[in-house]
Structure 1
Amino acid sequence: YDQYGHAGVSGQPGFGAGGFGAGFDINDALRAFMRDFGMGGGGFEEIFGGGQRRRGRQDLYHGEDLKIRLKLTLEEIAFGTDKSIKIKRFKRCATCSGKGGSSLRRCPQCNGAGQVQQVSRSMFGQFVSVHPCGNCGGTGEVISQPCSTCSGSGRVEEQATISVKIPAGVSEGNDIPLRGEGNAGMRGGESGDLIVMIEEKPHERFVRHGGDIITEVPITFAVAALGGDIDIETLEGHVKLKIPAGTQSGKMLKLRGQGLGRLRSSGRGDLLVKISLWTPTSLTDEQRSLYEKLRHVEGEVPSKVSKSIFERLRESLGV
């Protein structure tokens, strides 16, 4: 141990996984031993002084991370957007510049070391464990005159408005970290981060499927049989879609590049249009007459549904 430290002990026969089986940690055994004999729960680092370096204020008083949920429309996800969000957080106290007071003095309990030692005796001899000083929090300093504005914490509450750039193609569950926009640390510690968690608002016309979007468009029997151009809605407005003659209900047509932007890459997904046949529920006399004539001249309905229709149905359902 004296030559290689903790890593050297872990790699020797009789220590670590090689000596006691997979998953064994000598620190766990020492902590359990120390607890059993009333000597705290320290491992190698605390017992043998491996952690005796006084921790700085930045390490001890690092500010907390904050999380906020942000709901986006499909249009905002498709093209990216800039959003402003309001949060309540701690900022650095301007009165004391985040120090917590006008003057600092050496901690009388640890004498400025930031740590205290606890000596314990057992049948195996004497053990020394090292812990952060509870009086100064491990900094080695205490405030003589606490700031009247922040009461010595070095930070105060504020309502803040934060700008966040949303890239195109984000998905529900994606997180966008904003470094340093969380809570300010106490007594001069670094600020935490603000984590923006993305949520998607349901769209009344489109369903997302990865980078593609899916919509359903009804057409008449005449357009399905004869073909034609129809007007459909996209995320950018209305466009014309050509319906081939003989189009079956359930057929999927594709408009390339009309889907969502791709995250961390160029290009866009596609717009998938599922065709459905619209059946009128009421007919004029002229329409009824024409449908009667059509019924007498149209061919027989196929007795079996083609396999391609089932395939299209599975594709549309995602199964």
Structure 2
Amino acid sequence: MSKRDYYEILEISRTSSSEEIKKAYRKKAMQYHPDRNPGDQEAEAKFKEINEAYDVLKDEQKKAAYDRFGHDAFQNGGAGNGFGGGFGAGGFSDIFDMFGDMMGMNRGGNSRKRSGADIQIQTEIQLTEAFTGIKKKVKYKTKKPCQSCDGSGSTDKTNGNKTCPTCHGSGKIRAQQGFFLVERPCNTCHGTGQVISNPCKKCHGTGLENQDKELEIDIPAGIEDGTRIRISGEGEAGSNGNPPGDLYVYVSVLPHDLFHREGANIFCRIPIRITQAALGTELEVPIIDGGRSKVKIPAGTQTGKQFRLRGKGFSVLRSSSRGDMYIEVKVEIPQHLTKRQKELLEEFEAEAQNKENEGNPETTSFFKKVKDFFEGKS
């Protein structure tokens, strides 16, 4: 008995969207669910049929295979090897063509050129170096063409290769995964289709040898912590004359003792004495470019107050502009007071408690609210 068309089962068209397929399935599944039809074998059979149809049509790859080959796409019989039975001369390789060169192989059996491996390293720079930009030397381990065999991989430096016995020169092998036949580069010859008959003893036939390399790279001004810089062609050499890979340098910007960066802005927290905050003062503060700037601190300045210095911040990547700098004041409470300092502060405190003194408006306001709370006024 031939199977019913999956689209017919769900009563949808072949152009239905994934949302329409899901909606149709839910409607049908609810109608024929065994809990709603206890003991009804026909409903149970339809419920299984509905689930089978939905399992295929909800998956884009399965749906594509079904649209092209129908139920044969999921049959492992037919020609006896799992790839015949209704597929025509191309067999299951036709399905492979639907998804292109997924594994970097073409139908002719030739592998694409395999570039050398990419290399990833990390380098650290100071915050001031990130501000100005810097030329930085980096050292890393890579691979270069073997000098003993001139990169050929063969002891006699010739084309002493033979056809790979695993893939028979195609450079690829096929393996069935579900209803797909997947092609991948041959593990024996790494997709070249050939193996070296007399491998070089130094590089063991790879054509490559280890190398310690030093390279000077340009790190631009304004670079962010964690930025990746790509240097084309400075990765590992490719085997058999193929192009080299790339070098990726991850830049780590170290913390600074004075400055904290947030994007293009810089923050500097400066402690001042309680007398400076109360009476006011003028401070000379450092700038990231090595200069200095004067900041006037008005009398009565509180902890956390910020003062903005326009255009004194960090470099902006690929731009001549700069962000701003923010000076944040922290009022420091003195420790280890002398006897005279204690006497002066006690006099100051006595004066501060004078009802006519309005030098601490926030404190006065807070404790008034506390008093009102205990008296039931708030």
Q: Do Structure 1 and Structure 2 share a fold, with TM-score over 0.5?
A: yes
Matches within 5 A, 1:15-26: 21=57, 23-26=59-62
Task: Give the secondary structure class of the aligned counterpart of 1:88.
Answer: strand
Q: Give the partner amino acid of 1:266.
A: S
* Equivalent position of 1:107 in the other structure: 163
* TM-fit CA distance, 1:252: 0.3
Q: Is the 8 A contact 1:90 1:157 kept in 2?
A: yes
Task: Give the secondary structure class of the aligned counterpart of 1:58.
Answer: coil
Structure number, greater radius of gyration: 2
Q: Is the 8 A contact 1:114 1:140 kept in 2?
A: yes
* TM-fit CA distance, 1:231: 2.0
CA RMSD of the aligned region, Å?
A: 4.1
Pair 1:44-2:95 in alignment? yes
* TM-fit CA distance, 1:277: 1.8
* TM-fit CA distance, 1:141: 3.3
* Equivalent position of 1:301 in the other structure: 360
Q: Aligned to 2:113, which of 58, 62, 65?
A: 58
Q: Is the 8 A contact 1:86 1:160 kept in 2?
A: yes
- Once residues 134 and 261 of structure 1 are traced to their aligned partners in structure 2, the CA distance between those partners, rounded to angstroms, is 50
- Once residues 248 and 71 of structure 1 are traced to their aligned partners in structure 2, the CA distance between those partners, rounded to angstroms, is 37
* TM-fit CA distance, 1:194: 1.8
Q: 1:186 to 1:234 in 2, by over 3 A?
A: same
* Equivalent position of 1:217 in the other structure: 270
Q: Is the 8 A contact 2:96 2:181 kept in 1?
A: no
* TM-fit CA distance, 1:154: 1.0
* Equivalent position of 2:213 in the other structure: 160
* Equivalent position of 1:179 in the other structure: 232
* TM-fit CA distance, 1:157: 0.3
Pair 1:252-2:332 in alignment? no
* Equivalent position of 1:273 in the other structure: 327
Task: Give the secondary structure class of the aligned counterpart of 2:60.
Answer: coil
Q: Is the 8 A contact 1:84 1:164 kept in 2?
A: yes
* TM-fit CA distance, 1:179: 1.6
- Once residues 173 and 147 of structure 2 are traced to their aligned partners in structure 1, the CA distance between those partners, rounded to angstroms, is 33
* TM-fit CA distance, 1:115: 4.5
* TM-fit CA distance, 1:217: 1.0
| Higher share of residues assigned helix | 2
- Once residues 193 and 252 of structure 2 are traced to their aligned partners in structure 1, the CA distance between those partners, rounded to angstroms, is 44
- Once residues 244 and 300 of structure 1 are traced to their aligned partners in structure 2, the CA distance between those partners, rounded to angstroms, is 15
Task: Give the secondary structure class of the aligned counterpart of 2:211.
Answer: strand
* TM-fit CA distance, 1:161: 1.0
| Higher share of residues assigned strand | 1
* TM-fit CA distance, 1:69: 2.0
* TM-fit CA distance, 1:155: 0.6
* TM-fit CA distance, 1:27: 8.7
* TM-fit CA distance, 1:15: 11
Task: State how many pairs are aligned.
Answer: 286
Farther off after superposition, 242-251 or 296-305: 296-305
Q: 1:107 to 1:67 in 2, by over 3 A?
A: same
- Once residues 98 and 163 of structure 2 are traced to their aligned partners in structure 1, the CA distance between those partners, rounded to angstroms, is 23
Matches within 5 A, 1:191-210: 191-210=244-263
What is the TM-score normalised by the length of structure 2? 0.61
* Equivalent position of 1:241 in the other structure: 295
Q: Which has the higher contact order (CA 8 A, sep 6+)?
A: 1
Q: 1:23 to 1:214 in 2, by over 3 A?
A: farther
- Once residues 175 and 108 of structure 1 are traced to their aligned partners in structure 2, the CA distance between those partners, rounded to angstroms, is 39
- Once residues 181 and 213 of structure 1 are traced to their aligned partners in structure 2, the CA distance between those partners, rounded to angstroms, is 35
Where structure 2 has 5 or more consecutive residues not aligned to the other structure, the ranges are 1-12, 22-55, 67-72, 84-91, 366-378
- Once residues 217 and 249 of structure 2 are traced to their aligned partners in structure 1, the CA distance between those partners, rounded to angstroms, is 9
Farther off after superposition, 12-21 or 68-77: 12-21
Matches within 5 A, 1:98-137: 98-101=151-154, 102-104=157-159, 105=161, 107=163, 109=165, 112-115=169-172, 132-133=185-186, 135-137=188-190
Q: Identity percentage over the alignment?
A: 33
